[in-house]
Amino acid sequence: MHSLAQEIQGFSKDRLKKQCTRVTTVTGRKLLERRRDGGQDGETEEVEEIEEGAGCGFVEDQSLDLQVGIVRPFYYWDAAHDIETLQRCKVSHVLNVAYGVANLFPDQLVYKTLNILDLPDTDITSYLGDCSSFIDQAREQSGVVLVHCNAGVSRSSSVVIGYLMLREGLSFSDAYQQVKQARPSVCPNPGFFQQLQNYKP
């Protein structure tokens, strides 16, 4: 009877099943990675491109979310591609913090666009100064600001929470609760959540 140690010592790499991995890069390129034994040169990797990326490598939600969450008289959410909703809410300024989402009404609204990736290691707090200045500008002009990303869940909510902390001196807990009350679906990704908890304006 062979021991486990003997089996391991006698095991050959040739008996391993060849594996390939499908990878989607952040730019949307789809790759197929295969590893194979290169003899004396060791293991080599082959990469085959399956599909060229045209944007962010995440699933884009194409359906319109027309729910408008009012955090203050000057913040709204989503509905960025529905002009009737924008007009009904008297939106004058749009802060677009999505990645690869077009501004559809540049002749009718004032836009600021920051291409922010919804990834836990994105430094969301580094964008709060620019975002807050744009919101302040709109308020000074008695405007109404729509803050939107793709789904109105992580990036835009983080920006609004950060604004309340930076400009109104709210704690993270108070700012989060006010935003959550206005739009129950908000959920900053774990990285943004932790960064905002530690944020000291």
Active site residues: 149
Pairwise CA distance, residues 60 & 151, whole Å = 9
If we measure between CA atoms, which residue out of 157, 149, 6, 160 comes closest to residue 74?
160
User: 3-state DSSP call for residue 145?
Assistant: strand
List CB contacts of 25: < 8 A, sequence separation 6 or more.
31, 53, 57
Extended strands (E) in 52-176: 75-77, 93-96, 110-113, 145-148
Pairwise CA distance, residues 142 & 174, whole Å = 25
Pairwise CA distance, residues 116 & 124, whole Å = 8
